[in-house]
Chain A
């Protein structure tokens, strides 16, 4: 009695009752497919959000002026400005070895116009290192230069959203765009970074810091300092270096009266990924329940099959089928149900994950495909073993007497 024969007998059993076998497979199929698809959606959301944060630069820290917390220390009498000197002080090979550059940033909310069209955006006044620190590669033209900053030139570099709104199909280079009443010459464009969901990384207009301060914002505090760490791994070390330098310069005595805040992109990414990870696990758990229900469906249908075929089991035993042969026959029937159901489920999930659902492009987690399939096979084995054992333990005379 070899395995192939037993598999053949098992397949015959399944073929004999196609509708019932099909419905049983459907249970496993839906379970497997939903595990894979839901995991893929969770993963896809994580990938999308991570990419959108990464488009701002993964190894950057943003030092912002002011504090977001409501419970300010009331004994604090004044807020020190965030200054260009602060930015310069942060680039210190001894006190801050992990800081590569620090770029002062001011922003002015203005309306920019070009010929007939106008668009409300914010003009960023900064230094040339901004493009590198904010992960904004130049598409066409040139970036700002140190010369532009020193001479307060009215040069501007535009993001793709601003270009689309103002210029349409016209080449923006060397054109004059008026922002907040100040004419600027477009010297370069930033490559499209893509917007994903909550943030449009292409809605930027970058001009020299000196120009923006003199013409638009005045010489108050910087809005922020963009600090570039040597890598995303060192960003946490850079964060503490930045904090200690600024605490000293601003006379901060405790966290409560700190007049600035440091945002760490790497930390933000890991926080967001953790959050989405929890939801992915949650989705997967819900899907896993449907897989379990599918498994119970197999047990149920195999029990019905065993009862229905009691007489057949009796005949087989009378003509010399051993307990193990009957056991294997019914186990294989259960396994075939779950393997085919699981296999079709995987195929269906692979098709379904090509569809973008609610702005999220699902990204398949390979381990979920293998995992779901392996689990569905084990479910066949586990949930099939009880009915199979029951069939194998039937006593031949009783089974033969069964009508």
Chain B
């Protein structure tokens, strides 16, 4: 079976000459469908750079990346937009909901950009909000929701387009411990439903929820181990 993520020799270099910084230095990583992977590392270890490359937001300097069997090394910007829209659901540390726009409209947005019809879009967005337990909050604006609720809206938005990969960047970084628990439970449920999740974090207890922990040090993979469930 094709892995969802297949990274081979990914290198990312910023700057040149004396100021050259190798943020990633030859990353080989394969993530299978249905896996729940935490990518750990201290600041500056390259995990955010890796997240940008995996999320098709940035291109690597060297190496090959295939997402869900599709090579995305040579895609242009427009094609990358389509890949992000169809294959990846993003969950950000700072929620990144669009302000002054209702929870429902936020969740609908990926489907709007995909060109799904209004009625179907609405039904799917409502279903996604219900699955994160926010059916009663769908007409609220982001600033009327708590941090935990906003992050659950973001999860619903990431889910609604049925992506191959859920990519979470420090999803609990801005949350209190109770909301952290809620969001991590939700990620656990999604994993149980068979979704592939990649989560970037620097907290051990958050990473402990994942089935596999990849640790980065100075742009290289230093450790790759499975948690015993």
Give complex CA distance A322, B161 in Å: 16
Please tell me which one of the listed residues B81, B97, B109 contacts residue A323 in the complex, with CB atoms under 8 A apart.
Answer: B81
Q: What is the interface of chain A mostly: helix, strand, loop, or mixed?
A: helix
Cβ contact within 8 Å between A1 and B115: yes
Q: How far is the CB of A273 from chain B (nearest CB, A)?
A: 55
Task: List residues of chain A with CB within 8 A of the CB of B57.
Answer: 318, 396-397, 400
Q: How far is the CB of B200 from chain A (nearest CB, A)?
A: 14
How many residue pairs between the two chains, A and B, have CB atoms under 8 Å in the bound complex? 63
Interface size class of A (residues with CB under 8 A): 20 to 34
Task: List residues of chain A with CB within 8 A of the CB of B109.
Answer: 316, 319
Q: Would you give the 0/1 interface string for A364-403, flagging 1 where the beta carbon is closer than 8 Å to chain B? A: 0000000000000000000000000000000011001000
Cβ contact within 8 Å between B90 and A318: yes
Cβ contact within 8 Å between B85 and A400: no
Give complex CA distance A1, B90 in Å: 20
Query: Is A5 an interface residue, CB under 8 A from the partner?
Result: yes
Q: Would you give the 0/1 interface string for A282-324, flagging 1 where the beta carbon is closer than 8 Å to chain B? A: 0000000000000000000000000000011011111111111
Query: Is B204 an interface residue, CB under 8 A from the partner?
Result: no
Give complex CA distance A317, B55 in Å: 12
Number of B interface residues at 8 Å Cβ cutoff, please give it.
27
Within 8 A of A (CB), among B74-94: 77-78, 81-82, 84-86, 90, 92
Known: A316-B98, A316-B109. A323 touches B115 (CB 8 A): no
Cβ contact within 8 Å between B78 and A320: no
Cβ contact within 8 Å between B81 and A320: yes
Cβ contact within 8 Å between B98 and A318: no
Cβ contact within 8 Å between A319 and B113: yes
Query: Is B52 an interface residue, CB under 8 A from the partner?
Result: yes
Query: Is B99 an interface residue, CB under 8 A from the partner?
Result: yes
Q: How far is the CB of A327 from chain B (nearest CB, A)?
A: 12
A-B contact pairs, 12 of them (CB 8 A): A2-B115, A9-B112, A16-B100, A315-B97, A315-B98, A316-B113, A318-B90, A319-B90, A319-B109, A319-B110, A320-B161, A400-B57
Chain A residues within 8 Å of B, Cβ to Cβ: 1-2, 5, 9, 12, 16, 311-312, 314-325, 396-397, 400
Q: Knowing that A319-B110, A321-B81 are A-B contacts, what are 11 other residue pairs whose CB atoms are under 8 Å apart, sorted by A's residue number? A: A1-B115, A9-B112, A311-B96, A317-B84, A320-B86, A320-B110, A320-B161, A322-B81, A322-B82, A397-B57, A400-B92
